[in-house]
Structures are given as structure tokens and as C-alpha cells.
Structure 1
Amino acid sequence: MEACNWKLMIARALYLSSFCFPLSNRIFITQFIPREKSTNSTELMMELLPSMFLLLSLIPAAYLLHKLTLRKESNTVTTKFGVGEPKPLPGTMGWPLIGKTFEYISKRRRGLTYEFLKERWNKYSSSIFKTSLIGETVVIFSGAEGTKFLFSNDKRLVHVWRRSTIKKIFPKMEKPSSEHSRTLRKLLRSILKIDVRREYIGFIDEATKNHLQAYWNCKQVSLSDTAAIYLFNLSCNIISGIKDPRKFEKIQKDMQDIDNGLRSMPINLSGTALNRAIKAARHIQKELEETIRQRRIDLSGHDSSSVMDIMWHLILATDEKDQSFFDEDIASNLASFLLGSYSTMQSTITSIMTVLKGSGSFREAMTDFIYEGYLIPKGSKIHWTSDATHKNPNYFPNLGNLDPSRFLKDEVTPYAFIPFGGGPRMCPGNENA
């Protein structure tokens, strides 16, 4: 770094001096050479001609050195992983806009995400490569070391990245404050404790009996659909205390529209899936805010529920400055909880009945950094998937044998088995699994 500094200083000095010297020569000539004693203009120009050629040659040379030095300095990224000239990332983008999206999704649905990764590992001889997914240039990190790097540097070098559809449907999820996130995570851990969940046993038992009588009474049913209705009904009660059948049906329809909108093209025109999802999210937000305001009125009149749902916990909670959360913030978080309970139920049932698909998520680079000699520019989208380690024979051999205990052995490589993610965004329910 010191070498870069003195070269930069010399380059800038030469660059500036190339403009200063002509000015100083002119001052010297006008002040110290009287006009009556000076030679004619032709002789004077001939005397100054060598100096002018020298100065003119210094201008492009100084400028070139100046730009090269700045370029080298800007491309040299200093992190704890070292300093040096980065290598270009391997990988291909595929078709414009489409990229490799269809190929990736197709293999992911068939449980073949590892094959997608392995093909590129062998092709590029690298555990990190770039590709194009969902219209974005994505850098895919693989292996336990890559996963460890992302989890260990979450909120320092990288942060969570969400698709534009999510930001449009849930705008408050785009940039939550770190203080709010920490407080909410602590609160969720307290809500998920066994003592708190024990309070819901009686209610869950009664709701289960009512559901069986209404939907399963001596008739053939679709397991996926009826189980989703049952579980989402429980979630609505436990999360927001919604028991009105009409409100439940409306919220269920809105959640279906939101779920469709999240997987649609980011086109917000009347009649599109994204437009319907945005309207549905606004309706749910409005319903929850009205319920929260009524809860606060009930609280002032000492009329609270005997069994506290998650909405009650959030209403009574305070941040690190002992201030209550705003109603719109509480409603936004409750809406995300409801969406999570709605979308994950069906995927969980599907996964159990077919194949456990590799999970994963996306991050975005907060600054330039170097990983394994490759420059990851600021703003790059980064993707990791558990299939990169869970189905990798280098970490777990004999994958064709039914041996669930392979993940529980003491010699498992750290960050190779990541069923709950890791880092600050680790699933808060991991302690209850």
C-alpha cells in the first residue's frame, strides 16, 4: 500500500506541474526580461521551443501514469483475505434476461441442484462462479468454506437481498433498522420458548377437533389442501388472534394472491399477478392495523386475552430505548409471519412426499471484497444453497444409503450441515427442532 501511495503522489505532482510550468515561464519572461532589451519574438520562441516540447511530452505521460496508478489502487481491495490483483470470475450468463434461470429451476424442482453446481465446478475448476438467474448476475458460493464466509460476514460485507417483487409487495421489509431486527429476533426467541407454546395446547386441541369435523368427517379429502387450511387457520389464531371465518377466508385468498405475485414477473400493471399481490398485501396490512388499534383500546380498558398471541407480545414489547413499536411496523411483521406460515406449509408437505430440496438464499455485496482471489464488486448478488454441502460426497460419503445419522456425527465439517442457515439470520426455531 505504501508503494501505491508514493507512486500516486509522484503521478499527481507531475500532472499538476505540467500545467504550472508554462504559467511560471510566462511570469518569468514578463517580469525579468524587459521588453526593450529582449530579443525579437522569433529568437525568443526558438529558445523556448525545447522547453515547450518537453512540457508537452510530460502532459500525456503524467496523465497516463496518473490514471494507471489510480486504476491499480481502485482495483486493489484490502480485506483480511489479502491484497492483490483479482482474477475474473469464471462462468457464463446464458441467454439475455433469461440466463440459466429455467435450467436451474428445472433441476431444483427435481432435486438435482447439486448436479447443476457440480457441472460448473468441473468446468471451471472453481467452487465459485457467476451465472445469470432471475434477470440478475449472480455469484454462487459453494462448499463449507463459502457458506462460512457468507454467514460470518453477514451485515458486514454482505446483507440479505430480496427480489424486486418482494420489495414492491412488502416495502417495509426492504430496509429494516438493525436495532428493530435485533429486538424482534430476541422477542421471537422468547415467544418460541416451551413455556409460551404450552399455553396454546388447549386451543390447538379444540381447533383440531373442529377442523376434523368440518373438513375430514367421513369423506375423501386432499391432504395438501386440507392440511394447509388447518395449519394456516392455526397460524392466524396464534399469530393475530383472527377467528372470524369470513376474515380467515379473505386473508387466505389474499395470501394466495401474494404467493402468486412473489413468483411472477416484476410487472405492476392492472390485472397482473404482481398488481393483485400488492393490493392483497395492502388489505392485510389495513386489517392488521385495525386489529392492533382495537387491541390497544382493549388494553387501556384492561380487557386482554387470557392466552397471548404473537400480536399481543409485539404490542407489549419495547425496543432498547423502552419505546413501543409503531402499529404499521407490527402489522408488517405479522403479515410476513402469516406469509411464511402460508407458503412453507405446502412446500413442507410436498418436500416430505417427494424429495427434500436444497434450501438457500441470496445476499448482496455491501462493498468490494476479494474471495479466493476473485473480486466480488459492490452490489453483486450472491447465492448459496445447502445442496452444495448436504449432497457433496466430500462431506457426506455414501449418500445412496439411508443413514440420517450422517448429519449427527461429531466429525462433520463445520458449516457443511446447515439445516437452519447460520449467522445473524439463523432460523430462531432451531432450538426447538
Structure 2
Amino acid sequence: MEAFYLYFLSLLVVFISISVPFLCHRSKSKKCKLPPGSSGFPLVGETLHFLMSGPEKFIHQRMEKYSDQVFATSLMGQNLAVICGAAGNKFLLCTANDFVSPWLPDSLLMFLNWVDSPGKSRKDLFSKIRGFHQAVIMRPEALKQYIPIMDSLTRQHLQTDWDPFHVVKVHPASQKITLILACKLLLGLEPDQAQRFSDSFTVSLQAFYSLPINLPGTAYNRALKEVDKLKQEFLKIILERKKMVLENREKAGSDVLSRTLLDENAHLLSDLEFAVYLVSLMIPTYESGSASITFVLKHLAELPHIYDMVYKEHMEIAKSKDPEELLNWEDVKKMKYSWNVICEAMRLAPPATGAFREVETDIHFAGVTIPKGWKVLWSPFTTNKNPKYFSEPENFDPTRFEGDGPTPCTFIPFSTGPRMCPGKDYSRFLILVYMYNVVRKFKLKKLIPDDKVLYRVGPYPASGLPLRLQPH
């Protein structure tokens, strides 16, 4: 009986905390013209529709029903406006940037709630992390140094996880290598050490769009436990590395953690903030990077003529190098057609659903008002398959990205404007290096013709995309 009352009381608290803001905005709606749309059911809004149909179908249906410029919905207990199209992307990500701030649902903020800094807002933490990223991590000279390491580890990965088999499931394999690379480049860990993070990331990511109900047995509750494990692991690594670097600076490696501890900007983040920062780098790498690799290889397996052109480009690079010589920056710059193929794969299967913002003061767009306190979603699904911007949008055509490429603000897989994803070049190197190594070794045959696509943070094939390998 006590357990029943505990569950009931917890659900009541969640219901009240979500319903009060909803009722307040209902009152305000009488004073201004809000975006057209539906708030769905009490408490859950349209979250179940979003999860069951997937973000692409959910957004396309509402653009057709309500507006192709902006529509309202309710997700994860929040009043939400989805701003659509190239004009909407430009408005939200550039023009209105000063009037909105980054926002994450509570189920995602569990990755940032390690830090309890009195007097500091989430916006302050986001700004601090972004400044640190640009000042320390993503310097061009550092990124170029990653390429040979990526190539070496990818070769080792293919030897152990591809070469011995006739069939490989691409999605779990790509998740494994993206985690190995992230742990090596960020933390200086060897491949066998990286695997201890795999289960924690997998369980945590399953709760990304769940209701934040912390009760035994819920996805959110399981995720919180795994996030706490990650917190302790990362703090332990940071403290051990800090001690080592202080004792002997010459032992510091080339990984991000070691370089940061030697950098003059190291004071910008506390140990906990730095741990959060490292996790925030690894999540998109683990999810979005592996999604992009998976769907690139899917299209190469489906389209032999595209595969042949990629193979030709890669072999021209390989012939200019010794067999054991690793890739470098000059090699990657030559992979122009390969990058167009990757862009087209990301157009058809965006590696992330989009990004959230919180409105800090009423903003006006397309004849409606989005009130202060509302959340706003930018999503590539409003433009990527829109025939207004891409002719025959369902066709795979890498030539769309030749010359000046698509119309501005229609293809922005890494966002745009002041808050463009700073990991764009890292992702580019990661996918190109993996693609180069796979294509040079194997021809690919798809085994499941119409595999269902599911969504977590990004898309993934329900079966993991099993491919039959045909060595050259």
C-alpha cells in the first residue's frame, strides 16, 4: 500500500509541475496569436505520437495540417513551437539568436546535473562549455592531428570486427569504433578500456525522450543510475590524469584531457564541469557519428554506381601512399566526392532530430507570437526532403552538393549561425576515415531490403543493418 501511495504521489507531482505552466500559457493565448497546432493530451501532450511515429513523420504531418512555417505542439510537458523551412531556420538560428537560449528536456539534463553551481544558470554553463570548446579543443591544428590516429584505430577495428566475418551489423560496429575513438582522443584510453562505457551510454540514451519520472523500473530511473556511474568514472580519470601531469608534464599525452590540463585555459572549468563537458562531446559522437556511418554504408550497399565512384576516389589516394602509411589532412581534402555522398546520406537520414531553444522574450515570426518561456525546436526534417528546396527529394543524388551546393539554410546537419555545432570537422574526419577503410577492403551487399528505421537521439536501423562482405 505504501508503494502505491509513493507511485501515486510521484505521478501527481509530475502532473502538477507540468500542468501549471500549461494552464498559464492557455491564459496568455487569449492576448496574442499563437502558432496553430495541438497540445495533445494532458501531461504527456503529443509526446507519445512523436515517439511512436518518429520525428520525420510527426513533423511532416503537422506541417501539412497546420502550417509549413511554424506550428505548436506539446512535448515532454512543454509548450513547443516548431519553426520550419529555410526562412524559419535563418530566423531562429541567426536573427533571433539573442532572444533564445539553449534548452534541454529534463531527461537530457541528467547529463548536466552533475554540476551544482549556486548563482549560475544553465545558459551560463552552456556558454562556458562552448567557449572552452572553441578556445581549447577544436583548434584546427589539433583536429588535423587526429586523422592518423583515427585511421590507425579504424584499421585495427576492421581487423578484429570485420575481417573474420562474412556478415557484419554496421550500426553496433560503428558505435563501437566511435566510442573507441572518442575515448582515445578525449581521454587517452586504449580500445579495451573504452568498452566499459558502452553499456552505460546505451542505457542512458534509451531514456533521452522519456518522461522524467524517477521510479524503479522506468527508463529514466535506469538511466540515472548509469549516468552516475559515468560521473564517477570520468571524475576518477580526470583526477588520476591531473596527478600524473602535475608530477611529470612529459608524461602528458596528445589526448584532449592531457592537453587541457597543460593549457593556460584549464582553469575555465572545474573537474565536474569538465567531466560534463567530456560526456557532452561523447554523446553526439557515439549516437550521431555512428548513425551517419551506418546510413552512408547503407546507400553504398544499395547503389553500386555510387560505390564505384567512391572506390575510385579512394584508390587514387591509396596509390599515392605506401601500404602502411596512415591518412593525413592532405588526403582527407581530396575526398570531395566522398563528402558529397556523406552529405546526401545525412540529408536523407539526418544524424540528429534537431536542437531546442527556450524563448527569453516574446518573439514574432510568420504572423504569430511565440511567448516567453515556450520552447522552440529547429529540425532538419522541415527542409531536407522538401521538394521546394530539393528536386526529387527521395532520390540519392550527391551532385546536389557540387559547386555552391543547396540553398542556404536548407541543409544544415550541424546547425548554423553562432551556435553551429563545433564538432562538425571532427565528425567529417571520423566518417571519411571509416568510409575510406571499409570501401577499400570490401564490396557490400544489403541483406534486409526494407529495414525499419527507429529513433533515439538519431536514427538507426531496427536490425542493425547487416551487410554481406565481399573482400576485394
Q: What's the TM-score, normalizing by structure 2?
A: 0.64
Does 1:157 find its partner at 2:99? yes
Report the equivalent of 1:30.
Answer: none
TM-aligned CA deviation for residue 150 of structure 1: 0.8
**Are 2:64 and 1:119 equivalent residues in the alignment?**
yes
User: In the alignment, is the contact (CA less than 8 A) between 2:385 and 2:394 conserved in 1?
Assistant: no
1:189 corresponds to: 138
Cα distance between partner residues in 2 of 1:198 and 1:214: 26
Q: What corresponds to 1:379 in structure 2?
A: 373
* Ranges of 4+ aligned residues in structure 1 off by more than 6 Å: none
Equivalence for 1:240: 187
Structure 1 unaligned regions, length at least 5: 1-74, 76-84
Letter matched to residue 100 of structure 1:
E
Determine whether 1:262 maps to 2:208.
yes
In the other structure, the counterpart of 2:78 is: 136
2:393 corresponding residue in structure 1: 399
In the alignment, structure 2 segments of 5+ residues that lack a partner are: 1-27, 116-121, 300-344, 429-472
The answer to which structure, 1 or 2, has the higher relative contact order (CA under 8 A, 6+ apart) is 2
Partner of 2:176 in structure 1?
Answer: 229
Equivalent in the alignment of 2:22: none
On the 8 A contact 1:189/1:428 being kept in 2, the answer is yes
- With over 3 angstroms needed to count, the CA separation of the structure-2 counterparts of 1:172 and 1:157, relative to structure 1, is farther
Match of 1:331 among 266, 275, 282: 275
Q: Distance between the aligned counterparts of 2:221 and 2:411, measured in 1? A: 39
Does the 8 A contact of 1:315 with 1:324 survive in 2? no
Please tell me whether the aligned partners of residues 269 and 275 of structure 1 are also in contact (alpha carbons under 8 angstroms).
Answer: yes
CA contact (8 A) 2:60 2:382 kept: no
| 2:356 aligned with 1:362 | yes
Identity %: 30
- In structure 2, do the counterparts of structure 1 residues 384 and 164 end up closer, same or farther at CA, with 3 Å as the change threshold? same
- 1:216–1:97: structure 2 CA closer, same or farther, 3 Å change rule? same
Could you tell me how far apart the structure 2 residues matched to 1:229 and 1:263 are? 23
**Counterpart contact for 2:62–2:71, Cα < 8 Å:** no
Kept after mapping to 2: 8 A contact 1:364/1:381: yes
What does 1:266-305 correspond to in 2, within 5 Å?
A: 266-305=212-251
Q: Distance in 2 between matches of 1:394 and 1:387?
A: 13
- CA–CA distance in structure 2, aligned partners of residues 414 and 344 of structure 1: 22
Q: Distance in 2 between matches of 1:430 and 1:405?
A: 21
Q: CA deviation at 1:421?
A: 0.5
Relative to the length of structure 1, the TM-score reads 0.69
Quote how far apart the aligned CAs of 1:155 are.
5.0
Distance 1:271 1:398 in 2: 45
Question: Which residue of the partner structure matches residue 13 of structure 1?
Answer: none
Structure 1 residues 244 and 115: alpha-carbon distance in aligned structure 2, compared to 1, 3 A threshold: closer
Task: Choose which of 90, 95, 98 in structure 2 pairs with 1:148.
Answer: 90
Pair 178,253 (structure 1): closer, same or farther in 2 beyond 3 Å: same
**Alpha-carbon shift at residue 309 of structure 1 (Å):** 0.5
Q: For residues 293 and 241 of structure 1, what CA distance do their matches in structure 2 show?
A: 14
Shift of 1:148: 1.1
The Cα RMSD (Å) is 3.2
Cα distance, 1:369 vs structure 2: 2.6
Q: Note closer, same or farther for the CA distance 1:189–1:169 as it changes in structure 2 (3 Å cut).
A: closer
- Displacement after TM superposition at 1:157 (Å): 1.0
Structure of larger gyration radius: 1
Distance 1:198 1:339 in 2: 22
Aligned to 1:348: 292
Could you say what secondary structure the match of 2:207 adopts? helix
| Counterparts of 1:412 and 1:230, CA distance in 2 | 31
Q: Distance in 2 between matches of 1:163 and 1:365?
A: 14
